[in-house]
Structure 1
Amino acid sequence: MPKRVLFLTPYPQDTAGSQRFRFEQYIAYLEEQGIVVDRQSFIDEQTWKILYLPGHTLQKFVGIIKGFARRKWMLLRAIQYDYVFVHREAAPLGPPVFEWFLAKILSRKLIYDFDDAIWKENTTGANSLAAKMKWASKVASICKWSYKVSAGNEFLATYARQFNDHVFVNPTTLDTAYLHLPDHSSTKTNVTVGWTGTHSTLKYLDLIEEVVNELQQELPFEFLIIADQRPDSGIQGFQYLPWDKESEVADLNRIDIGVMPLEMDEWAKGKCGFKALQFMALERPVLVTPIGVNAEIVEHGVSGYHCQSREEWKQQLKVLIQDESLRQQMGIRGREKVVADFSVCSNKDNFLRLFS
């Protein structure tokens, strides 16, 4: 009989970036090997559409209740699967009851995947109650119960190895053969500096707000923000594009220089450098805060620049805005790095090892 795998995900298929670029793009390879794949998301399509919109409190509450109900029904049929792949958590709130039942009662082989330092409470006073309800401490327990752990970078893997000897580093990867393809056909006049991300990471733009505003007094360039919500940013005259899966790559190709500022903290160490990888795959140089995997992905002075101080951000951004030839050279080197180390093709066999 063929092996069977159940993917338990937070969100519906083909919606969230962490799912699309960590494992969804590998499912076809599993099926090519004769493995039967099923999926179940906690959040359904209807709830996903309003999840991050203001209001809709009752609909969101009902959506959460339905998610718990689906997970309960899942336990009744989980015995038919050889592996259960859990991305981040089986349920967004409360202790790891479903993971415990799957591993300890049903003896299923759990493959646990995470791509952030989710054992830490990334919280402020305003959302401290919600953070406690997320039960961050469950990450250690799930790691301990799992057959294998798939971590997005070495920092995350080091944490997981405290509890499990079978930990694999599976970086977030891009399809450089068919999806993330560079396009330099634009005929626009001004250079475009750009950032992309979700509403939860828009706060990092505050770190370079003054630098961008000062440079705009010296040099002509545009600043483009691609996000799932319109930002409340102090960057003067920024352009905003709502994130759209269908036009994502074309929208990113409008950017000439990518930026990925981060705080120098423990949470940032768990980041997997996805923004930087996207820019590099499209042959764009990128400026990053050199913390965690960012320092490995971006080679300083080769595919982009490491920037920590305000002066470094301003100077290196100014250099790239003024030097088209340098942008091209760095862009080419960046794509070479992604193709070699962070592409679906380069990581396929590593990912499939999880199911051997």
Structure 2
Amino acid sequence: MTPNPSIDAVSTYRLTAGSPRVRIADWLAHEGLTATWHTYAGTADVLPTTVARHPLRILRAEASVRRGWPSQVLVLSREASPWSLGEVEETLLHRAERGVYDVDDAIFADRSPIRRAMRIDRKWARMVGAADVVVVGNDHLAEHAAPFARDLRIIPSCIEPGDYLAKTSWDLAAAPRVVWLGSPATEHYLEPLAADLGRLHTRTGARVTLISGPGSNPRLASIDHLVDRVPWSLSTVATALSEADVAIGPLDDTAYARGKCAYKLLQYAATGLPMVASPVGANALALERFDGVAVAAGGDWTEALEAVITESAARREARGRQGIAAVAEHYSFEAWSPHWRAAVLGS
């Protein structure tokens, strides 16, 4: 393999979506590499409602991905076609001189009716088995890939710490500010916390910044009065995070959630934010490294958040500075660059 081979990057999501951006595009930018991108229909997702709005675009995309193309290095994120049973991905990976399958979600555990009907577990086995190298973001994904993979590497999702605005003061705002970073598709993880956040507001005056989609969520209507929404964008997320006092990362303890790669916790840590999160999947180790507070299933989020808010500024600073140091050591592109190049480029 040449030092800088031609690379084809494949995803069903457009580049602003999390997985292809975080797991491939950001890595290519860090390494000074370029790729030819194949993003299916170029939509934000391939949910049935999206497909129904763009039928001709979907048909063209499906025809294109099934024709395929020769590749030196092909990096596949998640899947190449939502309609494939694994045969499309298998063909693309086999045709490449080096076929790399990268995944940061437990797609094998997706229990939606269409995924069950299309046997996503069998598709997972075919995709993993077809790759020369499989790159997963955590131990849970590795456990489920191991029976099928020929060459399995664990590389956590990484960030560029310099892209974030590290806090320089941990004194509280007049009204303490809690922040959550996510998307409309993951706001359901916040719903069980609504009552806890309401009690926290009553006790401390704390407000909640939601960095997500711009639209309101009816299932969070009970806390609308204490929520300030900030539409997510690459140009605004760092500032919005830096203005908070404490960050939250709730997850359900399910097979699907255990496959998540703690990416929002990395962003909190790079900002120097004390954090309270569910110790599920990759979150558990990240919380230990970042001196975060873990709230297990059934735990009291109000008490955990109030404890961080009422502790001394010096203690919050110690948490924040540990997070800044640990994210650079354990989750930065610089720390993992040799491993990524070896996995993807074979060098």
Matching of residue 325 in structure 1 with residue 314 in structure 2: yes
Q: Does 1:315 align with 2:307?
A: no
Query: Residue 12 in 1 paired to residue 6 in 2?
Result: no
- Is 2:51 aligned against 1:67? no
Distance 2:208 2:234 in 1: 21
Question: Would you say 1:253 and 2:251 are equivalent positions?
Answer: no
Change in 2 beyond 3 A, CA 1:322/1:29 = closer
- Aligned residues of 1:31 and 1:37 also touching (Cα < 8 A): no
Shift of 1:280: 0.9
Q: Deviations over 1:258-285 (max 9, x none)?
A: 1111111211211101111111110001
Mapped to 2, the partners of 1:325 and 1:66 lie a distance apart of 58
Distance 1:320 1:250 in 2: 21
Residue 309 of structure 1 deviates from its aligned partner by 5.0
CA distance in 2 between counterparts of 1:120 and 1:17 reads 19
Unaligned runs of 5+ in 2: none
Q: TM-score, normalised by structure 1?
A: 0.86
Greater relative contact order (Cα < 8 A, sep 6+): 2
Q: How is 1:258-297 mapped onto 2 (pairs within 5 angstroms)?
A: 258-297=247-286
Q: Which amino acid counterpart does residue 96 of structure 1 have in structure 2?
A: G
Contact kept? 1:9, 1:87, Cα under 8 Å:
yes
**Contact kept? 2:74, 2:93, Cα under 8 Å:** no
Shift in alpha-carbon separation, 1:93–1:199, aligned structure 2, 3 A? farther
Change (3 A) 1:187 1:273: closer
Alpha-carbon deviation of 1:287? 0.8
In the superposition, relative to structure 1, how do residues 117 and 83 fare at CA in structure 2: closer, same or farther (>3 Å)? Answer: same
Structure 1 residues without counterparts, runs of 5 or longer: none
**Deviation digits for residues 54-83 of structure 1, max 9, x if unmatched?**
97765322332222133134x2xx22x222
Q: TM-score, with normalisation over the residues of structure 2?
A: 0.88
Checking the alignment, whether the CA contact within 8 Å between 2:108 and 2:121 is kept in structure 1 is: yes
Tell me the residue number matched to 2:228: 239
Equivalent residues of 1:288, 1:306 under 8 A apart: yes
Q: 1:40 aligns with which of 29, 38, 42?
A: 38
**How far off is 1:85 after superposition?**
0.7
The equivalent residue for 1:214 is 199
Give me the whole-angstrom Cα distance separating, in 1, the residues matched to 2:53 and 2:101: 29
Q: Deviations over 1:233-280 (max 9, x none)?
A: 132521111112221211222221111111112112111011111111
Q: CA deviation at 1:310?
A: 4.8
Amino acid at match of 1:284: L
* Partner secondary structure for residue 21 of structure 1: helix
Q: Could you tell me whether the CA contact under 8 Å between 1:194 and 1:259 is conserved in 2? A: yes
Matches within 5 A, 1:325-344: 325-344=314-333
Check 1:31–1:336 CA distance in 2 against 1; reply closer, same or farther (3 A cut). Answer: closer
Which consecutive aligned stretches of 4+ in structure 1 deviate over 6 angstroms post-superposition?
A: 54-57
CA drift of 1:199 comes to 1.6
What's the C-alpha RMSD, in Å, of the aligned pairs?
2.5
Would the aligned equivalents of 2:175 and 2:204 in 1 still touch at CA under 8 Å? no
Distance 2:304 2:20 in 1: 33
Kindly indicate whether residue 166 of structure 2 is the aligned counterpart of residue 182 of structure 1: yes
Matches of 1:318 and 1:187, distance apart in 2: 12
Partner Cα distance (1:11, 1:311) in 2:
35
- Note closer, same or farther for the CA distance 1:349–1:91 as it changes in structure 2 (3 Å cut): same
DSSP-derived class of the 1:174 partner: coil
* CA spacing shift, 1:207–1:99, aligned 2, 3 Å: same
- Matched residue of 2:128: which SS? helix
Contact map agreement 2:131 2:150 (CA 8 A) in 1:
no
Equivalent residue of 2:192, what SS? helix
- CA drift of 1:12 comes to 2.6
Identity across the alignment (%): 22
User: Quick one: distance in 1 between partners of 2:177 and 2:39?
Assistant: 37
SS for the counterpart of 1:298 is helix
Is the deviation greater in 199-208 or in 141-150?
199-208
Secondary structure of the residue aligned to 1:212 is helix
- Whole-Å separation in 2 of the counterparts to 1:98 and 1:167: 21
Q: Give, in angstroms, the shift of residue 114 of structure 1.
A: 0.5
Change in CA separation of 1:130 and 1:120 when aligned onto 2, cut-off 3 Å: closer
* Structure 2 residue 208 is the aligned partner of structure 1 residue 223: yes
